[in-house]
Amino acid sequence: MDAKDKNVIHVKKFMDGRMSPQELHRALGIRKKCEQCGAPAAVRIRVLVELAELVKRQPEFVAQIMATNQNGPYVPTIDTKYGKMVKISDVGACENCRKSAEIAAARGPSWCIVEIDRGPSPTNPVSGQVPNAGGDKPE
């Protein structure tokens, strides 16, 4: 038996076959419903903006976040490999609505980062943070 065969057996025996890695991730990792149809979400899409960039471009929005933050007058941030980011949106999408939700998220301004958590998959073993392709090209 070579290493390839071992991998196949390992995947088949995941959770004794009770659920797939994808199903476990949906149950424990995403914990969201599809924004569009309410089905259990298969992916989570977050739109993030660098705090300094947001202060520069949308000062009123930053002031609004600070004014409405129940924990105090500050902007909650998330540490990412791109620095401190502010979460602009955080939605789930099911397998059926995934495409349109990802397209909608990618239409944001180019100074946003779209983070798509697709969970474990044979073709996409590691989900990551990708810079937005840019939806705010000059018209």
Write out the residues near Zn ion by the rule CB under 5 A. Answer: 34, 36-37, 39, 94, 97
Nearest C-alpha neighbor of 98 from the set 135, 131, 139, 127: 127
Q: Which amino acid is at 105?
A: A
DSSP 54-74: HHHH-HHHHHHHHHH-TT-SS
For Zn ion, the closer CB: 54 or 97: 97
CB of 9: closest distance to Zn ion in angstroms? Answer: 33
CB of 39: closest distance to Zn ion in angstroms? Answer: 5
For Zn ion, the closer CB: 86 or 93: 93
CB of 24: closest distance to Zn ion in angstroms? Answer: 20
Strand order in the sheet with 112-117: 78-80, 83-93, 43-50, 112-117, 129-131
